[in-house]
Amino acid sequence: GMQSAIYYYVLFAVTAMIFHGLLGRSTRTLTDNAALAAKTLGMGLVALYGLNELVYRLTHALINNQTNLNDVSISARIDTAPLSTLLIVLFLAPFVEEFLFRGLVFGGLRSRSRTVAYLVSCVLFAFLHVWQYAWGNQDVTYFWLMLQYLVPGAVLAWAYDHSGTLWTSVALHGLANALSVLVSRL
């Protein structure tokens, strides 16, 4: 619990230091276009849940209901260390992941090719969420679970691309994680 929180806080601090210029530009864009960011956030949430439902059904048909160990792991951590886990899942991880995958990867590739930017940022985001389970369980079928992360990756990239500010994708990511945690606790 506390080790993970310290790890993510350090990642958060390092990300904020490295991307301070992008952080400033994103914040200015948010303040200049708050209405667009809010509208994008709402549309992103609808797209995320609608498309996720389709992909969830497809992946379960393909992979014999293999459990998403990332979700199970988060649920178990909430049971043992609720405050530090919620801090990580709702704030620190969305910030770090959005600045890395959408800011660095997507933003870095977008000027060359929007298609490549979407593809690479989505695949890397999906890979981050499953590789440790495939490796730890010595089972490459866990890579099929990457399909479940391609939709969120694409919607989060779209939210940044459409609104012009990473704060929209950070908020969408945190909100999606919050809803996921809430649903898993019901």
**Which token pair is 179?**
């809803």
2-53 confidence digits (pLDDT tens):
787 788 889 999 999 999 999 999 999 999 999 999 999 999 999 988 887 7
pLDDT at 81: 65
pLDDT at 66: 57
Whether 19 maps to a domain, the answer reads: no
Q: Looking at this protein, which amino acid is placed at residue 136?
A: G
pLDDT at 70: 62
56-91 confidence digits (pLDDT tens):
777 667 666 555 656 656 666 666 667 878 888 899
3-class secondary structure, 138: coil
d(CA 38, CA 50): 19
HEC string of 5-70 equals HHHHHHHHHHHHHHCHHHHHHHHHHHHHCHHHHHHHHHHHHHHHHHHHHHHHHHHHHHCCCCCCHH
Whether 166 maps to a domain, the answer reads: yes
What is the arithmetic mean of pLDDT over 129-141?
A: 79
Whether 134 maps to a domain, the answer reads: yes
Whether 30 maps to a domain, the answer reads: no
Whether 128 maps to a domain, the answer reads: yes
Q: For residue 79, what are the domain limits? A: 2-11+37-185
pLDDT level of residue 186 (50, 70, 90 thresholds): confident
Whether the Cβ atoms of residue 169 and residue 153 lie closer than 8 Å to each other: no
Whether 142 maps to a domain, the answer reads: yes
pLDDT at 138: 80
**Which token pair is 183?**
């649903």
Instruction: Give the residue from 168, 90, 161, 85 showing the smallest Cα distance to 122.
Output: 161
pLDDT at 120: 97
d(CA 24, CA 133): 36
Instruction: Give the residue from 66, 82, 45 showing the smallest Cα distance to 174.
Output: 45
What is the arithmetic mean of pLDDT over 128-142?
A: 80
Q: How many domains does the chain have?
A: 1
pLDDT at 63: 65
Whether 22 maps to a domain, the answer reads: no
Distance between first and last Cα of the chain: 22
What is the arithmetic mean of pLDDT over 167-174?
A: 96
**12 or 137: which carries more pLDDT confidence?**
12
Whether 69 maps to a domain, the answer reads: yes
